[in-house]
Structure 1
Amino acid sequence: MIYTKFKTIKCVVLDVDGVLTDGKILVTEEGHQLRTFHVKDGYAIQYAVKQGLTIVVITGAKSLGVKARFEGLGVKETYLGIHDKWSVLEEVMNRYQLAPTEVMFIGDDMPDYLCMQKVGVAVAPADAVEEIKAISHYVSRCKGGEGVVREVLEKILKLQGKWHNDIFVPSV
């Protein structure tokens, strides 16, 4: 079962558009790009960080709002405007001394393909493109922006004995 691979995960790498968002971008008259994020994903991200899981965001997006969102959740590794995601991921894996089996990548489209092929666990939202779903070890029941990250992080942390039902009030 794929869930046995979840137990060894130390680092979860996230794409943004199509994974943490529904892939839609609202552009204002001033040219600002606006996205919506699911609060349940935010809760799981900040909780996972507090439980010692390394969360990395690698995205082609260049929005400072995206960076601010993840900084607010405690994510220390956020890379914006990245076209060669594998080079960034490889550097992160070397710096943290992570084996591919310890890394999960959640992606939805072709810019994520190479990274997803090289990590221990590749995950796709339910509405990812077919090529990505075909190489994924796990396809979420959730669509992008609808709790994919929450679903997966909760599974990882439960399998690792780190998901607690204590009363916990996060800043999301």
Structure 2
Amino acid sequence: MFLEKIKHIQAFILDVDGVLTDGTILVTETGEQHRRFNIKDGYALQLAIKRGYQVVAVSGGRSKGIEHRLKGLGISQIFLGLDSKLETYHNFISRSGLSAGQILYMGDDIPDLPVIKLAGLAVCPADAVQEIKAVCDYISPKNGGEGCVRDVIEKVLKIRGDWHDESPSAHDGSIK
């Protein structure tokens, strides 16, 4: 069932905190918030975009650092400060023309639950909360921010024959 669903994936919708990051927020004395991203996730995200997959990032957080990192990776569909991710999901479906069966959603916590139940392929990191794990088609062996995004993107791209890259880039999007 999981492998059959992978064959149809055309888009990745990813939560940020706890999926693309390890969920830790370091707050400086000036109030700046810093998050830690995984470089291997970054490579997989860039390759997916290069191969024509749509990548969408959703978060309740509002940090400019998140936006800077994701734009640097080539992600243009970034939705921050969301109270509910459901409206963004429905808007994406109608704009993209994709069906739910073509969308992989990766989340880790209760705010992801309404959307993860609708996605064609529901996945989560190993350290997701139990309520999310209970409804997922696949639970990555990797924790959030520790390669779980690479894990699922690599699986999709390999099964669909899109993983190999004749001219890989070492650029991670962080330097302009």
Q: Which band: TM-score by shorter chain?
A: over 0.9
Unaligned stretches of 5+ residues in structure 2: none
Superposed CA offset, 1:90-132 (max 9, x none): 0011000111100110000000000000111110100000000
> Deviation of residue 166 (structure 1)?
2.9
Q: Residue 145 of structure 1 aligns with which residue?
A: 145
Tell me how far apart the structure 1 counterparts of residues 38 and 90 of structure 2 sit (CA, whole Å): 28
Q: Secondary structure at the match of 1:61?
A: coil
Tell me how far apart the structure 2 counterparts of residues 134 and 117 of structure 1 sit (CA, whole Å): 10
Counterpart of 1:118 in structure 2: which amino acid? L
Give 1:22-171 correspondences, 5 Å limit: 22-171=22-171
Percent identity between the two aligned chains = 45
Question: How does the TM-score come out when normalised to structure 2?
Answer: 0.95
Superposition misfits of 4+ residues, deviation over 4 angstroms: none
> Deviation of residue 170 (structure 1)?
3.8
Tell me how far apart the structure 2 counterparts of residues 87 and 147 of structure 1 sit (CA, whole Å): 28
Superposed CA offset, 1:17-71 (max 9, x none): 1101111100000101000100000000011000001000010110011001111
> Deviation of residue 167 (structure 1)?
4.3
Tell me how far apart the structure 2 counterparts of residues 37 and 3 of structure 1 sit (CA, whole Å): 27
Tell me how far apart the structure 2 counterparts of residues 19 and 169 of structure 1 sit (CA, whole Å): 23
Question: How does the TM-score come out when normalised to structure 1?
Answer: 0.97
- Quick check: 1:46–1:170 contact (8 Å CA) kept in 2? no
Equivalent pairs, count: 172
Tell me how far apart the structure 1 counterparts of residues 103 and 4 of structure 2 sit (CA, whole Å): 13
Q: Residue 8 of structure 2 aligns with which residue?
A: 8
RMSD over aligned CA atoms reads 0.9
> Deviation of residue 7 (structure 1)?
1.1
